[in-house]
Amino acid sequence: MIPSLPHLKESPSQTAGPYVHIGLIPHQAGFDIFAKNFSNVLVGPDTVGERIRIEGRILDGSGAPARDILVEIWQANAAGRYNHPADRQEDKPIDPSFRGWGRTGTDFETGLYTFETVKPGSVIGRKGHRPMAPHVNIWLAARGINIGLSTRLYFSDEAEANAQDPVLNIIEPRERRETLIARREERRGEVVYVFDIRLQGDRETVFFDI
Amino acid sequence: MSVERIRSDVRGITPEDPLGLDSEFIQRDRSIHPPAFTPNYKTSALRSPRIPLWSLQNSLSEVTGPVFSPDEIGPLDNDLILNYAKDGEPIGERIIVHGHVLDENGRGVPNTLVEFWQANAGGRYRHVNDRYLAPIDPNFGGCGRTLTNADGYYAFRTIKPGAYPFRNHVNSWRPAHIHFSIFGSGFAQRLITQMYFEGDPLLRHDVIARTIPDPEAVKRLIAPLDLDAAVPLDCLTYRFNIVLRGRRSTLFENKLQGN
């Protein structure tokens, strides 16, 4: 008799609900409880790389900004290496001052989210594919979202790398690729990438089944 | 290639990578999860993408994820009875919730961040946007977090949350539940879900639990009473195991199959 492999089924997802902040961003819920908090600031004084701000709004199917969304990002460091044991790109340094992960909530009034981070370097692609263009992985959870949504942010000033990116290149029609490109702006010497996410409808953002 | 080597490839385990960290994830079975558009849960109507998700084979961006360290977690962070106690302890049914975070291959997921949040015993959340008339408990914050141990085990102590009404249908009530957020070892394992309590009669009316199409899948979110683990004369215990996506064959080496 052939023994069957143990195989469990993934726990089903449920919405994070309107009060997700209590657990994940308690100060936004209106109270202080933990000695150390996670935040939307990924950089410290020793972090290597070009400082950037990422900001945007998340719009629902009526075009209204969603003001209660949890936003998390995961990215490589300025050299293009993830701070994780599975990343064995030995030719690139790990930056001990950069975990590469942050979280925030869209503002209850304006619907704006922001991150303070560094611009990531290019990461190797899958075997046999080109390197991936610099990108930031984004994950959204909220009231009304039954299972977390995954997308990627690419940079408008990396047109050449974007044109070669193995992920952008599989998206058809080509117009949809534009929904993943953040627009570079400079404000008083600060580099800002504006990245609005449209959950539904006109110019709907590409979401991935990863 | 030996039978043993092939077998370990399938599970993503190799001598160089005993935890299988290099390997990509088994494709998510979307049929056990709620679809994005579930009109009985009204908020989903405008917050659900209408274009199908674009399927993406895993790269380093998906198989890696944030690593958390024990020094980021305070000693009371997993004790909701004490972590917001001001002039006494919170009122309500004292419980322990414990279990394992496993992957689909049945392996414990070690050192992963588990976060949880909930209402108080009366169904009121400590949140600026919750205006339910049931009062705040001055000694209860309602959130906690912990890292799983080497076996994937976690535990926390809290007060059993109450049911509460919400504006969906005129008379919609959530069953007692605790929200969970889990990371796993790769960002593609990221999961937020809710734990329900054995025997709760509100569950069969709940529009949010019923966003999950398969009743068997809903059952996996219902924590049974674990009387053997209760602390006599102190608190009851519920057991809640969480399953994250499993891994398949290794990404970046030459393999017979996969990739």
pLDDT number for residue B2: 61
- Of the residues B100, B107, B177, B245, only one is catalytic, namely B177
CB interface of A with B, residues 13-32, below 8 Å: 13-24, 26, 29-31
| Mean pLDDT score, B16-33 | 79
Q: b/e for B109-136, b at 16 or more Cβ within 10 A?
A: beebbbbbbbbbbbbbbbbeebeeebeb
pLDDT one-digit tens code per residue, A78-133: 999 999 999 999 999 999 999 999 999 999 999 999 999 999 999 999 888 999 99
Residue of B nearest to A209 (CA): B55
Say which range, A3-7, A80-84, A205-209, has the weakest mean pLDDT.
Answer: A3-7
- Of the residues B84, B94, B107, B125, only one is catalytic, namely B125
ipTM of this complex > 0.90?
yes
- Of the residues B94, B107, B157, B174, only one is catalytic, namely B174
Of A61, A83, A209, the CB nearest to B54: A209
Of B30, B66, B102, the CB nearest to A99: B66
pLDDT number for residue B254: 44
Of A34, A83, A86, the CB nearest to B63: A86
Provide, as residue numbers in chain B, all residues whose Cβ is less than 8 Å from the Cβ of A34. Answer: 74, 77, 145
Class of the domain covering B65-247: mainly beta
Distance of residue A102 Cα from the nearest chain B Cα, in angstroms: 9
Q: At B155, is the pLDDT very low, low, confident or very high (cuts 50, 70, 90)? A: very high
Say which range, A195-204, B105-114, B155-164, B249-258, has the weakest mean pLDDT.
Answer: B249-258
pLDDT one-digit tens code per residue, A133-154: 999 999 999 999 999 999 999 9
Listed residue (B83, B179, B93, B178) closest to B139, CA to CA = B83
For residue A193, count CB atoms less than 10 angstroms from its CB and return exposed for 0-12, middle for 13-18, buried for 19 or more: buried
Provide, as residue numbers in chain A, all residues whose Cβ is less than 8 Å from the Cβ of B73. Answer: 36
pLDDT number for residue B259: 36
In the numeric block, which tokens belong to residue A9? 């089924």
Residue B247 has pLDDT above 70, yes or no: yes
Of A68, A141, A167, the CB nearest to B192: A141
Q: Which residue ranges form the domains of chain A, and what is each CATH number?
A: 20-198 (2.60.130.10)
Residue B15 has pLDDT above 90, yes or no: no
Strand partners, A71: A104, A140
Residue B123 has pLDDT above 80, yes or no: yes
pLDDT number for residue B8: 56
B48·A145 Cβ contact <8 A: yes
pLDDT one-digit tens code per residue, B167-219: 999 999 999 999 999 999 999 999 999 999 999 999 999 999 999 999 999 99
| Mean pLDDT score, A44-72 | 98
Residue B257 has pLDDT above 50, yes or no: no
For residue A23, give the DSSP letter. Answer: H
Listed residue (B172, B114, B122) closest to B143, CA to CA = B114
pLDDT number for residue B248: 80
Provide, as residue numbers in chain B, all residues whose Cβ is less than 8 Å from the Cβ of A180. Answer: none
For residue A202, count CB atoms less than 10 angstroms from its CB and return exposed for 0-12, middle for 13-18, buried for 19 or more: exposed
Is some CB atom of chain B closer than 8 A to the CB atom of A181? no
Of A30, A66, A126, the CB nearest to B127: A30
pLDDT one-digit tens code per residue, B32-86: 999 999 999 999 999 999 999 999 999 999 999 999 999 999 999 999 999 999 9
- Of the residues B126, B179, B220, B239, only one is catalytic, namely B179
Query: Is the pTM above the cut of 0.80?
Result: yes
Residue A2 has pLDDT above 50, yes or no: yes
Residue A76 has pLDDT above 60, yes or no: yes
Name the helix (H) or strand (E) containing A179: none
Is some CB atom of chain B closer than 8 A to the CB atom of A197? no
pLDDT number for residue B255: 44
Count CB neighbours of B71 within 10 A: 7
User: What are the structural domain ranges in chain B?
Assistant: 65-247
Q: Is B177 noted as a catalytic residue in this protein?
A: yes
Residue of B nearest to A37 (CA): B72
Listed residue (A90, A99, A124) closest to A46, CA to CA = A99
Provide, as residue numbers in chain B, all residues whose Cβ is less than 8 Å from the Cβ of A205. Answer: 49
